[in-house]
Amino acid sequence: MVTALAALLALGAAACTGTGPEVPTHEAITREDPWFAGRFRHGFADVDGVRMHCVTGGSGSPVVLLHGWPQTWYGWWEVMPELAEHHTVHAIDLPGLGDSTGAPSGYDKATLARYAHTLVADRLGVRDAAAVGHDLGAAVAFQYAAQFPEDTERLGYLDLSLFSQVSFNGTAFGGDAATSPFSEAEIDEHARTYREPGALSGGFELYRSLGADVRATESAPPLDVPTPVGTGWWRRTRSS
């Protein structure tokens, strides 16, 4: 009872004195990192019925970062400052995921790549990007390069595992010996966005569309852009 009363009094005091403007939920996680918040900015743009979220910072040649599932742009935050020393970094929330709200016309990776390209090329005016994808984001990055080679300087293809590697107790997760690589803050941030209405449905659609993704990949023209390929621990395995 005493604890509850103290909490109510604290809330009342805050309401009376004011605590300044409320921080938007999509900025809350980065506001806790003043160095990051001072160098990167959040932005939104409407793309075919989806309000797409992008975090941008740095200077130099452009790099577009495309996350996997169940992640958001925040999956890149640890590498973004180093990339920003030499590049202008654009970390995107894929349509219907993260803070990109609204349902795209499809969740196959070719369609998602068109949304990403419209955001990057038409809304941001970037037509010489290095498209870098992780997990299912790598499939989006591949389609970005395949459909828009004239706007793609390079392709980075990271950690799109085979099913046997990610099945129950698969080698990609270390089996029973695995420990979580994520901090509580990282888990909370991803959970925040995936609690939103429709967010899990969008993630499931990424997997329901895998058959269409395979067919689209098989029918795509050969890529003519430099393509580093990496495996589970960001180890570079091949470059063409």
Which pLDDT value is given to residue 235?
47
Which pLDDT value is given to residue 28?
77
Pairing of strands 152-158, 228-230: parallel
pLDDT in tens, 188-235: 887 888 887 777 888 888 888 888 888 898 888 888 887 776 655 444
Which pLDDT value is given to residue 210?
84
Give the domain extent around 194: 26-239
Residue 160 and residue 140 in contact, taking contact as beta carbons nearer than 8 Å: no
Which pLDDT value is given to residue 117?
98
Domain-located, residue 172: yes
Domain-located, residue 6: no
Domain-located, residue 68: yes
Which pLDDT value is given to residue 173?
52
pLDDT in tens, 145-180: 999 999 999 999 888 765 544 555 555 555 555 566
Which pLDDT value is given to residue 34?
82
pLDDT in tens, 47-85: 999 999 999 999 999 999 999 998 999 999 999 999 999
Tell me the sheet residues that pair with 92. 54, 66
Domain-located, residue 92: yes
Q: DSSP label at 160?
A: -
Domain-located, residue 20: no
Number of domains comprising the chain = 1
pLDDT band at 238 (very low <50, low <70, confident <90, very high): very low
Exposed, middle or buried by CB within 10 Å (0-12, 13-18, 19+), for 13?
Answer: exposed
- Give the predicted TM-score (pTM) of the model: 0.77
The domain spanning residue 195 has which CATH number? 3.40.50.1820
Q: Angle at CA 115, nearest 5°, toward 209 and 224?
A: 85
Domain-located, residue 1: no
Domain-located, residue 66: yes
Assess whether pLDDT exceeds 60 at residue 10.
no
Domain-located, residue 7: no
Tell me the sheet residues that pair with 52. 45
